[in-house]
Structure 1
Amino acid sequence: MPLLGFLNPLDNVHKFDPDKDVPDLAGKVIIVTGGNSGCGKETVLQLAKHNPGCIYLAARSPAKYDDAMKDISAAAPNANVRFLKMDLSSLASVKQAADQVIADSDRVDILVNNAGIMAHPHGLSKDGFEIQFATNHMGHALFTRLLLPLMRRTASQPGSDVRIVNVSSAAAHLMTTGPGIYFEKLKTPMEAHNPGVIYGQSKLANVLHASELAKRYPDILSTSVHPGRVETNLTNVMFDANGINGRFQRVFDSLAGALTVQQGALTQIWAATWKRTEVKNGAYYVPVGKENPGSKRSRDVELAKKLWEWTETELAAKGY
């Protein structure tokens, strides 16, 4: 065990095992963003084993989908896993993806907002938002909003169990000073701020978004999760830059260790499938399925409301 392994714990309080504990998913329509690699791919792979009606694997290109399907098809050869083209940094691409789902499906049961970028170099999205906030929050917020009518219709059907899982990060806890969300800077590259802090801001938004979804749409079970520090390609940009964030992460990994992808995906799979009566709407969970109070900022109901209203206003201004 790593010297400081307690800093990246895997406390499987429910003894959750996807092979044994994920129920039959017959007829369910599932969407996983960023399903082509890392925890997203593992989530698709594990859910595909349990007879879903359809899983949409959202990725930016057919090549990424094809590569992921090599392992997914080997694990679940009969699963219906469809490619959904989506670039979360582009609102137009998000709208096209949502339109495809709505045209093809009469229900959506599980939405796992998994995709994201981490400590990315400063920049703006095509729509003029800070690039990490655009990808990690704005894209998912629009995608979720566009699918909500279909998800709510699904939730109104007898025996339904509709869920939204926002994959956040413990980096959300970095936002302990300042406003938490720098609303006045979200349409700038935020070059005066460390990319790691900007990442934390976007991950805080994921938690706040889930809690506000739970409040506004209680018929849908909405949660946010921290997967743990997981060995995926999410940190590649940070390591390649070899700046202070990358060096810190290497030291942390050497002392605390990193979870495998199989371990890192457990909490989001748990949140998507565990007994509904034992999952709290609006809650934040850490590995594996363990409720955590999060930070003071993540529990700020006024900040969650402000983020929701700001997001809605900005999306409307862009024509969505």
Structure 2
Amino acid sequence: MPSFKFDPEKDIADLSGKVIFITGGLGVESVVKLAQKHPRAIYFSGRNPKSAEEVIEKVKSIPDAPRVHFVQCDLASLQSVSAAAESFLGQSDRLDVLMCNAGIMTKVPDLTTDGYEIQFGTNHLGHALLIKKLIPLLIQTSEQPNTDVRIVILTSLGFIFAPRGGIKFKDLKTVQKFAVLGPFTRYGQSKLANILYARELARRYPQIKTLSIHPGVVATSIISGTTMVNKLIIYGSSWWQMVKPEEGAYNQLWAAGGDVSNAVNGQMYEPVGVRSNKLGKTAKDDKLAEQLWDWTENELQNY
């Protein structure tokens, strides 16, 4: 298990006046921890309103709890993502932190509602649309005095499973079976996209601190929902990195609310706040990052 020196009670700054938007997954743990630092409001998205009620009740127990709003959103549906973004924009006049945490892993071959490979469509394209819709407000917020605007994108060292060349753009509208290790190849491709997209966001919007974050291997529903064979591969290959869900949120909590003054914009960080030295040529390929950006913009042009 990694040695965590990060203490969210001490190391997350006061968030008074800030507005935070968090997508699901490890975002649930983040909502509670960030709420303790008194932001103006936290918006968090997901597919299950009943689960959201539990999070809201947890936050209500915090003294001087901030306003917490659930925004229903299915990242596998671009229409749902667009509606979620519009709902948020209708409620808030600022956005200080956007945390893109939700995701799926090692799923059987499938497509999103819009016909994209399910893992790429959910982990990258859904979040890309959310960012596209919210970036004007992030920029507007960054132009105000004494602001520190951030985008945090959850990725994974599993990006190493991406196919040769990184991203198979030509068949992203197929299930991309990729033979025996297909679920891991598709997952790796989507996580590589997260890393590259963060690099490109940082290049295009230097006024916003954008970081991609590896949380460690966390025992959450993203793993528990996969097959036994896949679980054995995941746990067997990374048992030394296993962390509890509350610890799994530490790295993104650092990125969202900690001191990132020395963090390099657009880079990937491992727990906690350690710049990754595991990025190979493909994950640092700025031409591929730009190609991903152009492909993404083209696919989202109607939104």
Alignment TM class, shorter chain as reference: over 0.9
Alignment of 1:183 onto 2:169? yes
In the alignment, which residue of structure 1 is the partner of 2:17? 27
Partner-residue secondary structure (3-state), 1:205: helix
Gaps in structure 1 of 5+ consecutive residues: none
253, 257, 261: which one pairs with 1:269?
253
In the alignment, which residue of structure 1 is the partner of 2:200? 212
Summarize the alignment of residues 63-102 of structure 1 with structure 2, pairs less than 5 Å apart.
Answer: 63-75=50-62, 78-102=65-89
Q: What one-letter code is carried by the residue in structure 1 that aligns with 2:11?
A: D
Summarize the alignment of residues 287-306 of structure 1 with structure 2, pairs less than 5 Å apart.
Answer: 287-293=271-277, 294-306=279-291
Q: Quick one: distance in 2 between partners of 1:74 and 1:156? A: 34
Deviation of the 1:217 alpha carbon: 0.4
TM-score normalized with structure 1 length? 0.90
Contact 1:45 1:76 in 2 (8 A): no
Q: Quick one: distance in 2 between partners of 1:76 and 1:119? A: 40
Number of equivalenced pairs: 300
Alignment of 1:226 onto 2:218? no
Gaps in structure 2 of 5+ consecutive residues: none
Q: Quick one: distance in 2 between partners of 1:159 and 1:242? A: 49
Deviation of the 1:257 alpha carbon: 5.7
Q: Quick one: distance in 2 between partners of 1:314 and 1:217? A: 21
Q: Deviations over 1:45-91 (max 9, x none)?
A: 11000110000011113112112234333345622111111110000
Work out the percentage of aligned pairs sharing the same amino acid.
42
In the alignment, which residue of structure 2 is the partner of 1:237? 225
In the alignment, which residue of structure 2 is the partner of 1:59? 46
Q: What one-letter code is carried by the residue in structure 1 that aligns with 2:135?
A: L
Moved more, 267-276 or 102-111: 267-276
Deviation of the 1:268 alpha carbon: 0.4
Q: Quick one: distance in 2 between partners of 1:55 and 1:297? A: 35
Q: Quick one: distance in 1 between partners of 2:143 and 2:265? A: 17
Alignment of 1:199 onto 2:187? yes
Partner-residue secondary structure (3-state), 1:278: coil
Q: Quick one: distance in 2 between partners of 1:192 and 1:170? A: 19
Q: Deviations over 1:13-57 (max 9, x none)?
A: xx32111121111111101100xx5x2111111100011000001
Partner-residue secondary structure (3-state), 1:123: coil
Contact 2:39 2:66 in 1 (8 A): yes
Q: What one-letter code is carried by the residue in structure 2 that aligns with 1:301?
A: D
Q: Quick one: distance in 2 between partners of 1:297 and 1:271? A: 24
Q: Quick one: distance in 1 between partners of 2:231 and 2:15? A: 40
Q: Deviations over 1:69-123 (max 9, x none)?
A: 3433334562211111111000001101110111111100000000000001110
Contact 1:169 1:225 in 2 (8 A): yes
Q: What one-letter code is carried by the residue in structure 1 that aligns with 2:139?
A: R
Partner-residue secondary structure (3-state), 1:82: strand
Contact 1:226 1:285 in 2 (8 A): yes
CA RMSD, aligned part only? 1.5
Alignment of 1:155 onto 2:147? no
Alignment of 1:104 onto 2:91? yes
In the alignment, which residue of structure 2 is the partner of 1:18? 8
Contact 1:169 1:227 in 2 (8 A): yes
Q: Quick one: distance in 2 between partners of 1:252 and 1:169? A: 14
Partner-residue secondary structure (3-state), 2:113: coil
Q: Quick one: distance in 2 between partners of 1:77 and 1:134? A: 38
TM-score normalized with structure 2 length? 0.95
Q: Quick one: distance in 2 between partners of 1:43 and 1:298? A: 27
Contact 1:230 1:259 in 2 (8 A): yes
Alignment of 1:125 onto 2:112? yes
Contact 1:152 1:219 in 2 (8 A): yes
